[in-house]
Amino acid sequence: MMKKPVYFKETLAAVEKANQYLNLPEGVFKRLCLPTRSLTVNIPVKMDDGTMSFFTGYRVQYDMSRGPGKGGIRYHPGITRDEVTALAALMTWKCAVVDIPFGGAKGGVDCDARILSLGEKERLTRRFTYELFPLIGPEKDIPAPDMYTDEQVMAWIMDTYSMMKGFTVPEVVTGKPVSLGGSKGRKTATSEGLIITIIEAIKAEGMCLEGLRTSVLGFGNVGYHSARLLHMLGATIVGLADSHGAIYNPRGINMSTIARHKTETGSLADFEGADNLTVDELLAMETDLIIPAAICGQINPGNVDSIKTRMIAEGANGPVTSEADRVLIEKGVFIIPDILGNAGGVVVSYFEWLQGMQRLLWKSREIKKKLKHIMTKAFGEVMDISKDNNTDMRTAATILGVKRVAEAIKMRGFYP
């Protein structure tokens, strides 16, 4: 069995590499290698059968020099403070790459949301919100959905926070239902942003969207919508994966029938129009594009050698370990890194927060136009840094993000 990577150390490897180009003052660099604040809580939940269970939850605020903390809350079995810290650091660079005035944060609860009843999930969420109350708020730290959390979970967080404040505070979370002040376009924002960067990368690499053989790992918010949108644009979705395993058909998978199959059976497996494979077997199939849109470290030293693809677009956060990243770069695979590729979600979260703070409602068309502008600009800036420094896209994106955060830290100075 492969050793579990130490995620935060993995994340810092990219920062250390970026600093070879930035040469930051020692104090600023040290500051960037540590989270500002971490909270660990143990959440008591009365289960439906009358027993008590305790779940450990985390919120890490990595750096808030550029604005309030921003980052999702993930419900995932085995999640650790190390992983949440790594994800909070990535959020910090990501907000800076797309130049929105937020710092980076992240939360997580060690639980298997798939086996909790709706009532258990609600009690867990409300008590977790209570524990987070001193830390979160529209001007302090604004949670959003992530793996196994959704707009319902955001509605419970918003309601609990509002009850404790004594008035309704929609802007304490983003990714809310539209009926509670959620933004139009938030649900598909991450995948739409990812597609914008894929189109830019395809242009830069002289590739073509039509018939682009694509595998997508993860069939949730990011994975499903990315596969669906790419399919609509002419790509051939040859492989898909979820937590149960993978499916593959070199002639292409029909997106509407697979979506129905997943809804009916709860899994992608045993779909008539494709063969069952393991995720590692799917990764070894010849493709033009792989979109990891699920867990951290899914592409790792255990499977990287067998990967035969031209491009990887990271819908997930931290899906490629630093060692695997090195191998892929040597192989000449073009990687759109997480802090650039999946930033569309936080960009539209920013729009949602702005609309909430100003009590405004923007139109879909306006949101899509603004998203496209920000994502295209960020892609161009990262590409220019990559070319100017003859370095890979992850290092270039980290240079851009870390540089902007470092500038804010330097200008503000250290308190007191």
Select 78 or 416, whichever has its Cβ closest to ligand NAD.
Answer: 78
Select 128 or 148, whichever has its Cβ closest to ligand NAD.
Answer: 148
Q: How far is the CB of 224 from ligand NAD (least distance, A)?
A: 7
Q: How far is the CB of 341 from ligand NAD (least distance, A)?
A: 9
Q: How far is the CB of 79 from ligand NAD (least distance, A)?
A: 11
* Dihedral (CA of 34, 125, 41, 110) sign: negative
Q: What are phi and psi of 153, to 5 degrees?
A: -60, -40
Select 192 or 392, whichever has its Cβ closest to ligand NAD.
Answer: 192
Nearest CA-CA partner of 340 in 198, 146, 144, 174: 198
Counting DSSP H helices and E strands in the chain, the numbers are 14, 12
**Closest chain position to ligand NAD (CB):** 220
Residues that bind ligand NAD (CB under 6 A): 145-148, 190, 217-223, 241-243, 279, 293-295, 315-317, 342, 345
Nearest CA-CA partner of 344 in 312, 377, 383: 377
- Single-letter residue type at 34: L
Nearest CA-CA partner of 332 in 278, 407, 393, 271: 393
Supply the DSSP symbol for 39.
Answer: E
Cα–Cα distance for residue pair 364/373, rounded to 1 Å: 14
Q: How far is the CB of 327 from ligand NAD (least distance, A)?
A: 20
Select 137 or 220, whichever has its Cβ closest to ligand NAD.
Answer: 220
Cα–Cα distance for residue pair 112/412, rounded to 1 Å: 41
Q: Return the exposure string of 336-364: e unless at least 16 CB atoms fall within 10 Å of the residue's CB, then b.
A: bbbbbbbbbbbbbbbbbbebbeeeeebee
Q: Which two tokens stand for residue 294?
A: 């699920």
Select 172 or 277, whichever has its Cβ closest to ligand NAD.
Answer: 277
- Single-letter residue type at 271: F
Cα–Cα distance for residue pair 244/46, rounded to 1 Å: 29
Q: How far is the CB of 163 from ligand NAD (least distance, A)?
A: 26
Select 170 or 406, whichever has its Cβ closest to ligand NAD.
Answer: 170
Catalytic residue ranges: 106
Q: How far is the CB of 150 from ligand NAD (least distance, A)?
A: 7
